[in-house]
Amino acid sequence: KLDVHFIEIHSETLLKRLQHPTPNEQKTIQQLTQQLITEADPNPQNASLTEATMTDAVKLYVAMNHFVDKHQASAVTIVCRPWIQNKETTTPCIALMLFQEAGVPAACQGDLGALLTMVLFKRVAGVMSVMGNNFDVDGQLGIGHCVLSRQFCAPAGTRNPYYISDYHGRQPSPTVHSLLQTDQMVTMARLSQHLEQLILISGRLVGNRDLSGR
């Protein structure tokens, strides 16, 4: 219906590419890692997050980007669970965030419905979106996310302030908490099964929360 075609890259193939970056990729990894660290606000609660853990997260982005470029893909998603459960690998949060900032819709958990919704936002509005689970927070609609671009709802050419945290307090692998400016109008959307309906609602952003375990 949307003329979207999927190409599957097996995890073993991605892992192999991850372990053998080219010299140019090594330079990109170093530059992105330093930029993420130096521009972040301090977060002393996460002393376990080292430069090495950040480097591993950026390496995954560079390895995934190799296949995005190779297949000229316009969007990307990854099944996160194996990466989260394996303590020897990084979580994909940073990688997917960097794709978003490069203008490539990127969804976690292999969620094709969310990815297609993000593709629609990009096609219709020309802007990047964020996916997340919805839940109640003090009577408000909360959107829980791991992947939020530092540019989301920020003025053009700028980034929101952010800090780096571990993965929901469960694994010393980094994710970025971008602090959004409040009192902005936002649009939320959900595609129904079989792409039969697109549900849209709007609301005002009232705050940023860091809820453990979400």
Provide the terminal-to-terminal Cα distance of the chain, rounded to the nearest Å: 33
Q: What is the mean pLDDT of the segment spanning 126-153?
A: 90
Q: What is the sign, positive or negative, of the torsion defined by CA atoms of 200, 206, 209, 213?
A: negative
Helix 51-70 to helix 23-38 angle, to the nearest 10 degrees? 130
Among 75, 114, 91, smallest CA distance to 166 is for 91
- The yes-or-no verdict on residue 79 having pLDDT over 80 is yes
CB neighbours of residue 68 within 10 Å: 19
The answer to whether the CB of 96 falls within 8 A of the CB of 152 is: no
Per-residue pLDDT of 159-206, as tens digits, reads 999 999 888 767 778 999 999 999 999 999 998 888 889 999 999 999
Predicted pLDDT of residue 108: 93
Tally the residues of the chain: 214
d(CA 206, CA 10): 40
Q: Which residues pair with 201 in a beta bridge?
A: 188
Residue 183 neighbours by CB distance under 10 Å: 8
Please state, in angstroms and rounded to a whole number, the distance separating the CA atoms of residues 193 and 60: 31
Can you give the pLDDT at residue 192?
Answer: 87
